[in-house]
Structure 1
Amino acid sequence: MKSIIITGASSGIGYATAERFLDAGWRVGLVARRAERLEALADRYETAVPLPADVTDPEGIQAAFQAFGHLDVLFNNAGLFGPTATIDAVDLEDWAQVMQVNIGGMFMAARLAFAAMRAQDPQGGRIINNGSLSAHVPRPNSVCYTVTKHAVTGLTKTLSLDGRPFGIACGQIDIGNAETDLLAQLKHTQPETKTMDVDNAARSVLHMAEMPADANVQFMTVMATTMPYIGRG
């Protein structure tokens, strides 16, 4: 049975992806802070493994990975949007929090996954980082989020390079306007926002995860068809 750890698994894209993998017969480690949400999912699926942890807590996230065991795939998904403001109006504490979660948390999860995949027998695995269209084209007033998503692309490229000798592939999925609670906040202020069902993102992650060991989806963009990304001026 193939195995995956999903961070940020208690809501949004992480939750939808967890359901998609569980339906496909995978053993799924569910990492998030809200233990009750993870337990509820585990009550529905025998192969769901709740791993309550904060991705910014080094000891907690390490314990979660060690408890899970053999790891084929990490979906490095946990993140937050942060303040919607121009840079001069961003509080430094808010900036630090977004950096800590979106970069620090992703770094620690990738570090643990890389170490596990390098040491296990058979050696190797796959890391899928959740980027964003903001890794390429930012929204207005999104300086914190946009900076972190550009950093995720750098992480993806470096892991792809460093993982080659150990059979560790790394790819990035850039998701545009999937219908989640996070996007609902945006639609409240921008009702014209075009969206797609979040399951489209989940199915795309599954496709990336199921690639054979000798192939990798390096970057994938999946988005609402009519959202203004291509040709944005």
Structure 2
Amino acid sequence: MNAEQRIAVVTGAGSGIGRAVALTLSGAGWTVALAGRRAAALEETAAAAGPGATVCLPTDVSDPEEVAALFTSVRDRFGRLDLLFNNAGTFGPGPVPVEDLAYDDWRTVVDVNLTGTFLCAQAAYRLMKEQDPQGGRIINNGSVSAHAPRPHSVAYTATKHAVTGLTKSLSLDGRPYRIACGQIDIGNAATDMTERMSTGILQANGEVAAEPVMAAGDVARTVLHMAELPLEANVQFATVMATAMPYVGRG
């Protein structure tokens, strides 16, 4: 590996925020391992990044064996890991009242958003601790839902609150090994996942209203800033949101 080469893993890299972050990192000179369930979508991200900037490693982050294989491949190909952007996530079947949420749907959200985030962070942590020079950075994708829920979002909201605890623990436990961990909490980035915002979404007062969105590239630039800080500095938590979304104020 070139001494100047910086290696990143981005999960959920086939679309949305993951794709935007992967392209922004690669444009800034990072080599990016693209992880996600859909190989074709990863290839589309790789094509947009250009030759040599990325490698596609299809991975289901909720599967411990696939996560282990992902980080083993990164270690074997590049010799080290400098950044994990822990981005893969799912909202689940859509807004569902708590009394109607199926157990299997609950487990799917928990397995991806929380267990998957933990598995990737654990594997990255092990690699960063063992490599020479030691250390690296983990950035977890939280959400505005790590602070305040939307109606009928109990699984998503619970997992995003849990990600905050994971971020704090990783940040503390990583200190002796120069492993920095921060979290970006995103509100209304324009992706397939948030497409319904423009047509109307249930509000806390029972009304349905359209909400403003922002470009995913605005999020990606924030992640790049966090990623390129020296390991002696860390953005512990950052909130990036559409300016006029109904988050700051009364519900």
Alignment TM-score > 0.5, same fold = yes
Aligned residues: 233
Cα–Cα, structure 1 residues 227 and 186, in superposed 2: closer, same or farther, change >3 Å? closer
Aligned-partner Cα distance in 2 for 1:167–1:115: 12
Give the match's secondary structure for 2:238.
Answer: strand
Q: CA deviation at 1:213?
A: 1.3
Does structure 1 residue 147 correspond to structure 2 residue 153? no
Q: What is the correspondence of 1:27-176 to structure 2 with a 5 Å cutoff? A: 27-43=31-47, 44-69=50-75, 70-82=80-92, 83-176=94-187
The secondary structure found in structure 1 opposite 2:174 is helix
- In the TM superposition, what whole-angstrom CA distance separates every residue of 1:59-85 from its partner, at most 9, and x where no partner exists? 111111111121001000000011312
Between the aligned partners of 2:54 and 2:236, the Cα distance in structure 1 is: 27
Q: TM-score if structure 1 supplies the norm length?
A: 0.97
2:206 maps to none
Is there any run of 5+ residues in structure 1 with no aligned partner, and where?
Answer: none
Does 2:239 correspond to 1:221?
yes
2: CA distance, partners of 1:104 / 1:175: 20
Cα distance, 1:158 vs structure 2:
0.3
Paired residue secondary structure (1:193): coil
The answer (yes or no) to whether the contact 2:200–2:210 under 8 Å persists in 1 is no
Could you say what secondary structure the match of 2:213 adopts?
A: coil
Identity of aligned residues (%): 55
Q: TM-score, normalised by structure 2?
A: 0.90
For structure 2, the 5+ residue unaligned runs are 202-208
1:88-118 Cα deviation digits (max 9, x unpaired): 0111110011001001100100000000000
Cα distance in 2, alignment partners of residues 31 and 137 from structure 1:
29
Shift of 1:2: 1.0
CA distance in 1, matches of 2:68, 2:135: 19
Q: Please report how far the alpha carbon of residue 39 of structure 1 lies from its aligned counterpart in structure 2 after TM superposition.
A: 2.2
* Aligned counterparts, 1:171-190, within 5 A: 171-190=182-201
Q: Which runs of 4+ in 1 moved over 6 A?
A: none
Whole-angstrom CA distance in 2 between matches of 1:61 and 1:169 = 20
Matching residue within 21, 36, 40 for 1:17:
21
Alpha-carbon distance, 1:185 to partner: 3.2
Quote how far apart the aligned CAs of 1:232 are. 3.0
Question: Structure 1 residue 188: deviation in Å?
Answer: 3.7
SS in 2 for 1:173: strand
SS in 2 for 1:169: strand
